[in-house]
Amino acid sequence: MADTFLDKVYGATPPENVCELYDAWAPSYDAEVTENGYATPARAAKALAQHLASRDVPILDYGCGTGLCGVALQNVGFKVIDGCDISTQMLARATDKAVYRTLDRVEFDAPPDIAPGTYAAITAIGVMGAGAAPISLLDGLMSKLAKGGKLVFSQNDLARKRRGSMARIHEHLDTGSATLLHAKVGPHLPGINLKSTIYILEKN
């Protein structure tokens, strides 16, 4: 497809334009990513289900967008899901899906204003990378987990190539602040020949 929002979001979008871009994309987001075979939310939800025994614990879907990850989490049995995003228009679409207990707006690349341990797991699918938040957000999200909490996030092929992305992940592992439970490459947007890696880090 020519001149799609996927083209725009993976371009060099300055941070101050990200919210505006996602607000404009909201009405057509689901259709565009579905047309391209968007597979990462379902892969992430299934991976989390393998590492989190209870389906009743609260989960935060950070950068929830229109709610596709929330739907995927619900589909594997999770019952208590909250969401947050920078885009009010994306949040409006997420509300329509009726899978979230609460939905809140957050500032660009800022961790949620919550006490550590509020959630058993935080998902951040498609949140850190080109056209989105920097990998430094990883530190803020990890700080909101208690010991044993899980951070589930994705890095597509473009994000993994960005300077510092893999170093930030390895810093948490090398210092012993987190344990790697899952790292698997798979389809992301097959329609544009893009893959992603799903990671699950457990807070130590």
The pLDDT > 90 percentage for the chain reads 76
Note the helical H segments in the chain. 5-9, 15-35, 40-51, 68-75, 88-97, 137-143, 157-160, 165-174
The Cα 155–Cα 79 span in angstroms is 26
> What's the per-residue H, E or C state across 27-69?
HHHHHHHHHCCCCHHHHHHHHHHHHCCCCCCEEEEECCCCCHH
Distances (CA, A) of 37 to 41, 77, 174, 203: 11, 22, 35, 32
Q: Which residue has the tokens 């047309």?
A: 35
The pLDDT of residue 163 is 64
Q: Which residue has the tokens 């979008």?
A: 13
Amino acid residing at 93: R
Nearest CA among 73, 198, 203, 79 for reference residue 144: 203
Across 173-198, b (16+ Cβ under 10 Å) vs e yields eeeeebeebbeeeebbbebeebebbb
Please say whether the structural domain 5-203 has been given the CATH code 3.40.50.150: yes
User: CA-based Rg of the chain, rounded to a whole angstrom?
Assistant: 16
pTM above 0.85, yes or no: yes
- Which residues contact residue 193 at a Cβ distance below 8 angstroms, ignoring those fewer than 6 apart? none
| pLDDT single digits (tens) 100-156 | 999 999 988 889 999 999 999 999 999 987 667 888 899 999 999 999 999 999 999
The pLDDT of residue 17 is 78
The pLDDT of residue 112 is 92
For the chain, the domains span 5-203
Residues 136, 137, 140, 142, CA torsion sign: negative
The pLDDT of residue 108 is 85
Amino acid residing at 146: A
- Spans in the chain with pLDDT lower than 50: 1-2, 12
